[in-house]
Amino acid sequence: MKKVLLSIFVLVASVISLSAQTAEEVINKYVTAIGGADKWSKIQSLKVEGQIEVQGIAIPFTMQAVHMKGMRVDAEFQGSKIIDIVTPTKGWSQNPLMGKTSLEAITEDELKTKLDELDVQDEFVNYKEKGSTVEYLGKEEEEGTSYHKLKLVSKNGNEKVYFFDLTTGLIYKEESTVKQQGQEIKQAVKYLDYQTLENGIKMAFKSDMGMMMMVTKKVTINPTVDAAIFSGN
Amino acid sequence: MRVLLVALISGIGMLLHAQNVPSFNTAQFQVMGARALGPSTMSGRITAIEGAYADAQLNLYVGTAGGGIWKSQNGGQSFAPIFDKYNQSIGALALEPGSARVVYAGTGESNMRNSVSIGAGLYKTTDGGSNWQKLGLDSTEHISKIAIDPTDKKVVYVAAPGPLFKSSTHRGLYKSTDAGKTWEKILYINENTGCADIAVHPTNPKIVFASTWEFRRKAFSFVSGGSGSAFYKSVDGGKTWNKLTKGLPEGNLGRIVVTINPSKPSQVLALVEAKESALYQSNDEGETWTKLTSATGLTARPFYFSTLVVDPKDPKRVYRPAYDFNYSNDGGATFANTVIGGVAPHADHHALWINPSNTDMLFLGTDGGVYLSYNKGVTWQFLNNLPVPQFYHVSIDNQSPYNIYGGLQDNNNWMAPNTAPGGVAATDWKALGGGDGFWVQPDAIDEKIIYAESQGGDMYRINLRTGLSAGIKPKKQTGEDDHRWNWNTPIVTAKSNTKSATGKSQSNLYVGAQYLFRSRDNGRNWERISPDLTTNNKSIQNKAETSESVTGDNTSAENHCTIFTIVQHPNNENIIWVGTDDGNLMFTNNGGKTWTNKSNAFAKAGVPANAWISSIELSSHNANRIFVTLDHHMYGDNTTYALVSNDGGNSFTKFESEELTGFAHIIREDPKTPELLFLGTESGFFISLNAGKTWMRSKYQNLPWYSLVRDIKIHPSTNDLIIATHGRGIYIIDDIQPLREMVKSDLSKPFLFYPIQPFKYEYGAQYPQAASNLVGYAGASKSLAPTFYYYLKERSNDVVKIDIYNAANQKIKDLNGTGLKGLNKVFWTLTSNPPRVAKGGFVAQSSIQYAGFYGPKVPAGKYRIVVKAGKDSSEQILTVLPNPAAGLSEMALQKLHQQSMRVFLLQEQLADMVDTIDVKLAAWNKMPNSDEITQKIKAMDSFKRELLELNRKSIFFDETKFRKKISDFYLDLVTALEPLSEGQEKGINVLEAEMKGFKTRFKQLL
């Protein structure tokens, strides 16, 4: 009897450790697939140039960010300038298409959802040190293919669910929930066209948001970025 | 050895071939997504409501009988479905104490009516419904309540009545002490007795009350109660139980509902189904009981009404939502059911949630949706935003746009256009009478004559011209047995070649009791064209009147040994097939003179005797092919029985697939492509692309994965696929022609561009529209535009480019396509590329901005469409036809195009001019200062200000310059559906003259 009980206990214990291990395994495989933690840790600033394609129209953009200090996106559409700025304490946005004709401070809700973007390294690189927690949610079907499903809660309290390709280990889809005025709004992005950069890291060059496709054309690693651009004044 | 080698090689060859053809799933035609029409108008049965505040917003979770779980984050102002990948029948919901995001969901409703669906176990979410995990209890089929220990959220109790139609050990009271990871059954009586209710003491959670319930439904009877039914109390968290009897009725009991008074927990209330059912009260934590009242409003239909709630703050305020809304102010001694004001909640109540922060605020779940009261239930409002109606059948007509007809569980019969200006709104649905609604059929000749019914075959004819109706149910004639009409009696209309005495063409109308009746005069006179087609086995005919049930219930739901399915051959009215609910498949080829029973062939296909024949489909492609679905769930067997015969019903083969689950309701063969089959079961919508060899569960057509699919139609002229669900209303997949093309094509090719059907210029009606405050849930209207479909064997990371050329071989339009694996879909709005618009100043949300989006409408004619996907490229011709009936004649379209292009040209000329101005100004500004340059800059700048609006200050346009003038004019033209009149067209002359003037002056400024 003792023996049987023990084996049940071992089984339960192994089941628990299996699920814990799987989250680690999935993340390790992913981080290795995108170039490894060492290379990513060296990235302290980033510049990405590309365009947002929507209904056949291309809107060029530039994103500049300093790790955990500031991020700024500049885009232009038919002569209207669209700007998005995030810093650890405040954020601003200007979007004439949405009625914001000059830089205006964003609400606390909006800022909270954007704070994670200050991490120019991949958020799974040293995720524990960054204060994030993860949970393995098992395998789930997406468009007829099975993926590892994993939830990440960032230190800022943002929840995101990721779908990892079983063979490549890369992220195919991200589902996030943005909270505004107590209402949760769901968003989904599919990551396509992973390319390897000159320092050996890998990045998705296309982000498919359904109605919109963000296309990366050029990535500069560790450029010099003037902190003044993160001032919303 | 050689032989073996050859076999091996040929095997490899086959393997390679098989690998070439991609394994298919419904994601590969996700672009064939359905429009969800709902509606929310009459909503559907609600089984559970729970709520809690998060971020100062009232979050609500609503469980439904067949439409999954819906969540509101704003106190019911709007809802979104959160359980679409799982079983859709919800029995119970529970929120973890103190959380608005940790939810337990027990699937399988426990309101044990004849049409109740079956669950698949217990689920849990920890993130408000974004992600769910299954916790087990898979075979319980029905879960009535989930209770969580208020002091230890890891302790969870689940009451499972268990399967309704069979004996099973998967029932009783289950307990978890690790938040659902593992379960122990802590109260179990026998295979026929489950657990109906559970209540946990709010401050001393070791005290637990539970009721056990013996019950069984058969096709022809229902029994609630027996020796297994009892009332129990535990004082050690369910380790040991004491049967409660003091003061409670003797003899067999039925279903018992228990609730502990939350603000006075020593007091417990219980509704006890017994010979004399009554509400009982205990004031000593359940030890002894006193009868309070046996008022009928409280005690009717205990198997269906099991809600009893006490106000969280006021111990005297007791609610008993049942057939109507009963409330007490004296702790349950007396009840009132008065509802004041215009909106009375739909009858039949199954859930009540009282907002603990504001106990005046009640949410009531009924057979017809959720109602909200702000004054403890005295007045109500309907939440017109939950599209969860339970259709039994759907019919269509040949109007333009065609109408949808169908009957709903406890919610009448309805009709609505399939598409409407601004979307199909709640107000577009019109009631066609009934109680429960089932079959609604327009006449085969005169579509303004509608046949409809309520339960038990109470049928009537509606004349839509007069709005008047008349009863048409056949009456018993001499020599006939008492008629047996199914709960869901078939009404079928079909074509006839006969003429009346006055020479008028006639149509056939069929209805079935145990006899088949036919009318050729709109149901005025009936001809019985069969003997009793059922087994006429007396032992399986309605036993409700002699039931051993503690409480009787006879609503025609147990009528049995009846005709359930009727099909007339579309081209030969002498051929009629009839299916009965007791397993007979009957066939005549002489209009009913003689009948043959074909059901003997079922046994060889593995179908048990007595299974309901739920649908019969005659193939349009093969005179000897017939499809049949059978439903045996009322004998405790949920197998999917979908069969095909290729020899006129003499032998059948059952479709086998691991994908198929749920008892089968309907099978439909595509009339144009024999490979394409559609199957609806209690647990999903399934598609076969190879005549039933393999099946796919529809997961990417916008339906819930485990939809309860009751009926499927294919519209003969629009090729739309119409799906009726029992919990999520109507879905329409517009025009399945691309699916037919795909089925016929060689899918091992990397890229295919399918032929494009000629498109007749057509616009959906713009007006009249429903009042926007009343639309409720609105189903999307039909998109009308030529659509290109192409197939990619593998997902493409590159944008697929589509170029459109006109007859003169000029490229007029660039489109971006998707790179999905499988079928891709691109709309063309029949416009050419938009003009370049002059840049400068602030133009957001103005006609100037929009002018840069909209291109002119193209004239009728032939267009060459080139699709480029990576290295592959292919082209097709699209013929765009005029539509003179809609005012879109070839001439009119040509004229509209010419006029648009004249203003288009002005836009581009102005854009060029402003570009040159900007270049000049930049150059001059860089030149050394001089009076001449300063003068030139000043003159040019002031000229530019005549062209462009550069002084905008408010959110509106503050000035109108030449750019805005031409943009306003241009937008009017490109959005118009008819060309400018001769007089209006002169307006273009004025603009052109103005432009000419600007050009002259511009030259002088250079």
Q: Point out the residue among B57, B814, B842 whose CB comes nearest to the CB of A56.
A: B814
Q: Point out the residue among A138, A182, A192 whose CB comes nearest to the CB of B73.
A: A182
Phi and psi at residue B272, to the nearest 5°: -115, 120
Please indicate whether, in this complex, the C-beta atoms of B133 and A96 are within 8 angstroms of each other: no
Above 80 in pLDDT, residue B568?
Answer: yes
Cβ atoms of B820 and B76 closer than 8 Å: no
Please indicate whether, in this complex, the C-beta atoms of A79 and B127 are within 8 angstroms of each other: no
User: B771 is written with which tokens?
Assistant: 């009042």
Cβ atoms of A203 and A194 closer than 8 Å: yes
Please indicate whether, in this complex, the C-beta atoms of B57 and A78 are within 8 angstroms of each other: no
Residues B583-598 have a mean pLDDT of: 98
Q: Which residues of B touch A151 (CB under 8 A)?
A: 127, 131
By C-alpha distance, the chain A residue nearest B74 is A183
Residues B334-357 have a mean pLDDT of: 95
Please indicate whether, in this complex, the C-beta atoms of A78 and B27 are within 8 angstroms of each other: no
Question: pLDDT for B722-778, tens place per residue?
Answer: 999 999 999 999 999 999 999 999 999 999 999 999 999 988 888 998 888 888 999
Find where tokens 């955990």 sit.
A68
Bridge-based pairing of strands B872-881 and B759-760 is parallel
Mutate to test the interface with B, among A19, A98, A101, A143 (most CBs of B within 10 A): A143
Give the residue among B448, B459, B344 at the shortest CA–CA distance from B407: B459
CATH number at residue A44: 2.50.20
Distance CA B776, CA B41 (A): 7
Mention every residue, 6+ apart, whose C-beta is less than 8 A from residue A72: A63, A64, A65, A83, A84, A85, A86, A229, A230
| Average pLDDT over all residues of chain B | 95
Show the domain range for A80: 2-230
Total residues found in chain A within this entry: 233
Residue, of B22 and B338, whose pLDDT is higher? B338
Task: State CA B607 to chain mean position distance.
Answer: 30
User: Alpha-carbon dihedral of residues B764, B766, B770, B771, nearest 10 degrees?
Assistant: 150
Instruction: Return the pLDDT at A12.
Output: 40
Q: Which residues of A touch B799 (CB under 8 A)?
A: 53, 213
Instruction: Return the pLDDT at B11.
Output: 35
3-state secondary structure of B605: helix
Above 80 in pLDDT, residue A14?
Answer: no
Q: Which residues of A touch B33 (CB under 8 A)?
A: none
Instruction: Return the pLDDT at A21.
Output: 63
Taken in order B779, B706, B743, B19, is the CA torsion positive or negative? positive
Question: pLDDT for B133-166, tens place per residue?
Answer: 999 999 999 999 999 999 999 999 999 999 999 9
DSSP string, chain A: -HHHHHHHHHHHHHHHHHHHHHHHHHHHHHHHHTT-HHHHHT--EEEEEEEEEETTEEEEEEEEEETTTEEEEEEEETTEEEEEEE-SS-EEEEEGGGTEEEEEEPPHHHHHHHGGGG--S-TTTTTTTTT-EEEEEEEEEETTEEEEEEEEE-TT--EEEEEEETTT--EEEEEEEEEETTEEEEEEEEEEEEEE-TTS-EEEEEEE-SSEEEEEEEEEES----GGGG---
Percent over 70 (pLDDT), chain A: 90
Distance CA B367, CA B377 (A): 17
By C-alpha distance, the chain B residue nearest A186 is B130
3-state secondary structure of B474: coil
Q: Which residues of B touch A161 (CB under 8 A)?
A: 130-131
Distance CA B974, CA B985 (A): 14
Angle at B160 between CA B305 and CA B97, to 5 degrees: 85
Instruction: Return the pLDDT at B547.
Output: 87
Q: Which residues of A touch B816 (CB under 8 A)?
A: 53, 55-56
User: B929 is written with which tokens?
Assistant: 């200062």
Residues B819-843 have a mean pLDDT of: 91
pLDDT bin (cut points 50, 70, 90) of residue B955 is low
Distance CA A119, CA B976 (A): 49
Above 90 in pLDDT, residue B849?
Answer: no
By C-alpha distance, the chain B residue nearest A149 is B131
Above 60 in pLDDT, residue B507?
Answer: yes
Question: pLDDT for B487-497, tens place per residue?
Answer: 999 999 999 99
Above 50 in pLDDT, residue B1?
Answer: no
Please indicate whether, in this complex, the C-beta atoms of B54 and A182 are within 8 angstroms of each other: yes
Q: Which residues of A touch B837 (CB under 8 A)?
A: 78
Question: Which residues are B192's β-sheet partners?
Answer: none
Cβ atoms of B141 and B194 closer than 8 Å: no
Question: pLDDT for B246-274, tens place per residue?
Answer: 999 999 999 999 999 999 999 999 999 99
Please indicate whether, in this complex, the C-beta atoms of A184 and B797 are within 8 angstroms of each other: no
Q: Count residue pairs from A and B with Cβ separation < 8 A.
A: 74
Q: Looking at B360-479, which runs of residues are DSSP E strands?
A: 362-366, 369-373, 381-382, 391-396, 403-408, 413-417, 430-431, 441-442, 449-454, 458-463, 468-471
Mutate to test the interface with B, among A184, A202, A208 (most CBs of B within 10 A): A184
Instruction: Return the pLDDT at A19.
Output: 53
Please indicate whether, in this complex, the C-beta atoms of B797 and A149 are within 8 angstroms of each other: no
Above 90 in pLDDT, residue B183?
Answer: yes
Question: pLDDT for B857-900, tens place per residue?
Answer: 999 999 999 999 989 999 999 999 999 999 999 999 999 999 99
For B685-700, give one letter per residue: b (16+ CB within 10 A) or e: bbbbbebbebbbbbbb
Question: pLDDT for B305-314, tens place per residue?
Answer: 999 999 999 9
Cis peptide before B750 (omega within 30 of 0): no
| Element containing residue B81 per DSSP (H, E) | strand B80-81
Cβ atoms of B302 and B320 closer than 8 Å: no
Mention every residue, 6+ apart, whose C-beta is less than 8 A from residue B175: B155, B156, B157, B158, B183, B184, B185, B186, B237, B238
For chain A, the distance separating the N- and C-terminal CA atoms, rounded to the nearest angstrom, is 74
Residue B314 Cα, gap to closest chain A Cα (Å): 30
Question: pLDDT for A212-229, tens place per residue?
Answer: 889 999 999 999 999 999
Please indicate whether, in this complex, the C-beta atoms of A99 and B131 are within 8 angstroms of each other: no
Task: Please give the tally of structural domains in chain A.
Answer: 1
Interface of B with A (CB under 8 A): 25-28, 30, 54-57, 73-74, 127-128, 130-131, 133, 699-700, 795, 797, 799, 814-816, 821, 837, 839-845, 849, 852-853, 955
Q: What is the 3-state secondary structure (H, E, C) of B662-673?
A: CCEEEEEECCCC
Please indicate whether, in this complex, the C-beta atoms of B131 and A78 are within 8 angstroms of each other: no
